[in-house]
């Protein structure tokens, strides 16, 4: 059956009128198929509650769940929700009592009905002593064919397709909604500003639709969704003066309609409306076949879902301001929509560096970092690249480094060939920059024995080169940046990189060795030194590589690191 009638899938609408809406198929021709059999059956009815469990016989039989407003003496009104068969009616009755709040159970849809009609639900049954499973199933199928109850999910062969078609047709008709809206244009976007009731928000908007080019990167943006959404849910329930600013929704597919308003001539001349105003104000009709997803506002939408699940009546009059924009669900369309997300969240609002990296469509540093993460085979995506919110990585981590560290490496590699701007460069430029990144990492993996062992041969693990005791500087983010900067400086001065690796690999990479102890590693505390000067590290690696460097500056700063202001008392480690 379609999920439209799945009380668990649509749990956010609980206790709202839209949730209680059901489609019952009443077909007299189908009823007639039961006439002979039905006349010979003796049905019994019990209000569904714990107190009546012992009244149910321990025998094979058929049962139905119906809802009826008997409290107002309207027992002649009955709504049939579900038909089933059981080997032991009392056991099945007890199972429903025990599993009311278990949505993973096979009868979870019935459990939701039990939960929603606690004072109006009835267990109707007829006994079939000794009847085997096949016989009970045949009778059950007859009743399913006759009544087609909306909560059942399985029907006799051939009937399920018919029932599904009827329900889906019903939903396509009844999911249409008309929204008062203001139509506007900004840049190359046409948008519609409107308000949508809370219960419509959660029923229509897909919070899981992805516009990211790589699935694992999309997962990062979802990672803290429930934690932040819970705070929003608590705010909604707690605050009487609750208020939200507009969310931004992407729309694609379907056949939405725009109807502009026309006004009769006004008796007041100054109230005559020009064409621009008439074109701006109108009705946006969504037919229900459109796909809607959140571009900005996922946490608010999820918070609303959680709040409705707890106290839906509290929010029956609440509406959310919404901006709807047209989205093309193609590769080019997703790039355009990601750029919109980035514009909103980096220029209008401050977002984390990781979110910016994942969504930015203008900076080739970010574009190529994502591509390197996803396409450079030795990295194996998230096996060796951590999707952390900071460039740092813990000593116990199994990844080589973080994706934000890859971004810093790209910045270093591009620093002399591309000046960062907020305008996306030509594809040729972005591709040329990517080849710079790719060349660096291909050479690193081939020439650094530790990288080769971990990333290519898989003969070693990251733990063999990084631990709380220190390990290799090449398995620390700052060490990787030093490597990239040394590579870059060598290329600037020598106009080639082939000989760089021969010289660099002569440098002892041990954090506890003479080159890096007290420079980027504190041997006493066994921690990385976070305040190492970028300028010093650049000049220092140039010194170790035998490149032109600021001699006095390197010696002065190195002396300070060694705890001695007198440069004549400190010697730099020898160039290898």
Q: Which residue is associated with the tokens 């939701």?
A: 112
pLDDT at 12: 43
Using the predicted structure, report yes or no on whether residue 7 has a pLDDT greater than 90: no
Mean pLDDT along residues 69-95: 88
Tokens describing residue 540? 């220092």
Cα distance between residue 381 and residue 404, in whole Å = 13
121 within 8 A of 110, measured Cβ to Cβ: no
Q: pLDDT digits over 479-523, tens only?
A: 999 999 999 999 999 999 999 999 999 999 999 999 999 899 999
Please report the sign of the dihedral spanned by the C-alpha atoms of residue 317, residue 322, residue 326, residue 330.
negative
Considering only residues 73 and 281, tell me which one the structure prediction assigns the higher pLDDT. Answer: 281
Average pLDDT, the chain: 81
* Better pLDDT: 229 or 223: 229
Domain boundaries, the chain: 3-174, 177-347, 365-569
Residue 225, pLDDT above cutoff 70: no
Instruction: Look at residue 443 and tell me whether its pLDDT is greater than 90.
Output: yes
- Residue 2: predicted pLDDT: 34
Per-residue confidence (pLDDT) for residue 383, from 0 to 100: 85
- Please say if the pLDDT value at position 124 is more than 90: yes
Predicted confidence (pLDDT) at residue 231 exceeds the cutoff of 50: yes
Alpha carbons 305 and 198: distance in angstroms, whole number: 8
Separation CA 261–CA 283 (nearest Å) = 8
pLDDT, residue 99, reads 67
Looking at the predicted structure, is the pLDDT value of residue 211 above 70?
A: no
List helix spans (H) across 72-188: 89-98, 108-116, 133-147, 159-174
Exposure string (b/e) for 487-507, b if CB count within 10 Å is 16 or more? bbbbbeeeeeeeebbebbeeb
Taken in order 263, 268, 269, 271, is the CA torsion positive or negative? negative
Q: Which CATH number fits domain 3-174: 3.20.20.140, 3.40.50.720, 3.40.1440.10, 3.30.413.10?
A: 3.40.1440.10
C-alpha closest to that of 110 among 84, 137, 138, 136: 84
pLDDT tens, 294-311? Answer: 777 888 888 888 888 888
What is the pLDDT averaged over residues 460-468?
Answer: 95
CA distance 229 to 132: 50
Q: Who wins on pLDDT, 408 or 108?
A: 408
- Reduced to 3 states (helix: H, G, I; strand: E, B; else coil), residue 472 is strand
Residue 10: per-residue pLDDT = 44
Read off the pLDDT of residues 141-178 as tens digits, 9 standing for 90 and up. 889 888 888 888 777 766 656 665 555 555 454 577 88
User: Model confidence at 98, in pLDDT bands (50, 70, 90)?
Assistant: confident
Contacts of 222 (CB under 8 A, 6+ apart): 208, 298
Interval 444-471 mean pLDDT: 95
Contact indicator for 252, 329 with CB cutoff of 8 Å: yes
Is the pLDDT at 439 greater than 80? The verdict is: yes
β-partners of residue 259 are 283
Burial zone of 218 (CB within 10 Å; 0-12 exposed, 13-18 middle, 19+ buried): middle
Strands 44-47 and 61-67: unpaired
Listed residue (68, 44, 125, 131) closest to 91, CA to CA: 125
- Residue-by-residue DSSP string for 507-572: S--BTTSTTTBTTTEETTTTEE-TT--HHHHHHHHHHHTT----HHHHHHHHHHHTT-S-GGG--P
* Residue environment code for 116-129, b if the CB has 16+ CB neighbours within 10 A, otherwise e: ebeeebbbbbbbbe
- For residue 476, name the pLDDT band (cuts at 50, 70, 90): very high
Please report the pLDDT score of residue 269 as a whole number.
62
Q: What pLDDT does residue 15 have?
A: 47
Beta bridge partners of 323: 193, 248
Per-residue pLDDT tens digits for 267-287: 556 666 777 787 888 999 888
Please say if the pLDDT value at position 16 is more than 50.
no
């Amino acid at each position: 059956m379609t999920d439209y009638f799945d009380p668990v899938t649509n749990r956010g609408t609980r206790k709202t009128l839209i949730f209680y809406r059901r489609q019952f198929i009443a077909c007299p021709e189908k009823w007639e198929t039961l006439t002979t059999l039905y006349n010979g059956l003796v049905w019994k009815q019990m209000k569904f509650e714990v107190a009546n469990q012992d009244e149910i016989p321990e025998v094979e039989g058929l049962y139905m769940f119906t809802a009826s407003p008997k409290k107002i003496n309207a027992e002649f009104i009955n709504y049939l929700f579900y038909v089933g068969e059981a080997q032991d009616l009392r056991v099945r009755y007890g199972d429903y009592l025990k599993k009311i709040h278990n949505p993973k159970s096979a009868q979870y849809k019935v459990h939701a009905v039990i939960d929603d009609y606690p004072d109006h639900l009835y267990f109707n049954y007829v006994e079939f002593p000794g009847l085997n499973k096949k016989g009970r199933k045949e009778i059950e199928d007859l009743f399913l064919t006759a009544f087609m109850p909306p909560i059942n999910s399985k029907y006799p062969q051939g009937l399920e397709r018919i029932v599904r078609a009827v329900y889906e047709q019903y939903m396509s008709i009844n999911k249409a909604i008309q929204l008062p809206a203001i139509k506007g244009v900004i840049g190359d976007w046409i948008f519609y500003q409107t308000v949508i009731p809370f219960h419509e928000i959660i029923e229509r908007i897909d919070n899981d639709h992805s516009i990211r080019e790589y699935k694992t990167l999309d997962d990062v943006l979802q990672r803290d969704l429930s934690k932040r959404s819970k705070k929003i849910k608590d705010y909604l329930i707690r605050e009487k003066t609750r208020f939200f600013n507009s969310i931004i929704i992407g729309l694609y597919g379907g056949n939405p309609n725009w109807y502009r308003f026309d006004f009769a001539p006004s008796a007041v001349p100054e109230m005559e409306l020009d064409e621009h105003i008439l074109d701006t104000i109108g009705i946006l009709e969504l037919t229900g076949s459109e796909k809607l997803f959140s571009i900005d506002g996922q946490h608010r939408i999820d918070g609303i879902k959680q709040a409705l699940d707890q106290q839906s009546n509290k929010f029956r009059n609440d509406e959310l301001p919404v901006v709807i924009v047209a989205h093309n669900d193609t590769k080019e369309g997703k790039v355009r929509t990601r750029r919109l997300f980035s514009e909103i969240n980096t220029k209008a609002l401050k977002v984390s560096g990781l979110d910016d990296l994942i969504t930015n469509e203008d900076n080739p540093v970010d574009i190529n970092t994502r591509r390197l993460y996803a396409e450079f085979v030795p990295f194996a995506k998230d096996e060796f690249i951590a999707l952390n919110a900071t460039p740092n990585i813990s000593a116990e981590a199994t990844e080589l480094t973080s994706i934000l560290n890859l971004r810093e490496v790209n910045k270093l590699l591009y620093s002399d060939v591309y000046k960062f701007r907020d305008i996306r460069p030509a594809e040729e430029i972005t591709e040329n920059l990517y080849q710079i990144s790719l060349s660096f990492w291909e050479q690193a993996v081939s020439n650094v024995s530790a990288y080769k062992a971990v990333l290519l041969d898989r003969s070693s693990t990251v733990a063999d080169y990084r631990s709380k005791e220190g390990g290799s500087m090449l398995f620390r983010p700052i060490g990787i940046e030093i490597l990239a900067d040394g590579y870059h400086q060598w290329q600037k001065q020598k106009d080639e990189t082939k000989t760089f690796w021969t010289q660099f690999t002569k440098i002892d990479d041990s954090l506890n060795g003479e080159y890096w102890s007290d420079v980027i590693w504190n041997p006493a505390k066994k921690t990385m030194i976070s305040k190492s000067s970028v300028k010093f590290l650049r000049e220092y690696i140039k010194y170790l590589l035998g490149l032109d460097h600021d001699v006095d500056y390197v010696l002065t700063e190195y002396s300070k690191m060694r705890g001695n202001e007198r440069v004549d008392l400190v010697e730099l480690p020898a160039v290898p």
